[in-house]
Amino acid sequence: MRPLFRKLMPLVLAAVVVPAFLAGCHDRETVYYNRWEHETHREHVELNRRNAAEQQEYRDWRRRQDERH
């Protein structure tokens, strides 16, 4: 392999792998958030648009989900 290619390969791999990993984490969180909305009979609103009390309620609910698993 050429020296420049060896130096750039880790950066290229990181550019491909990291966004794919982050997208997977985000997608999983979206599933939980949608479930919380459904279970608490709320209409869909982006989490960052909810008031502070509802955001905290979601975080508390989410933490309990993690404790179960």
**Could you tell me the maximum CA-CA distance found in the chain, to the nearest angstrom?**
59
Q: What is the pLDDT of residues 37-66, one digit of tens each?
A: 999 999 999 999 999 999 999 999 999 999
Flag whether the pTM goes above 0.85.
Answer: no
**pLDDT at residue 37, as a whole number:** 97
Q: Report the amino acid identity of residue 45.
A: V
Q: What is the pLDDT of residues 14-30, one digit of tens each?
A: 665 555 555 666 788 99
* CA-to-CA separations, 39 to 28, 29, 42, in angstroms, rounded: 17, 15, 8
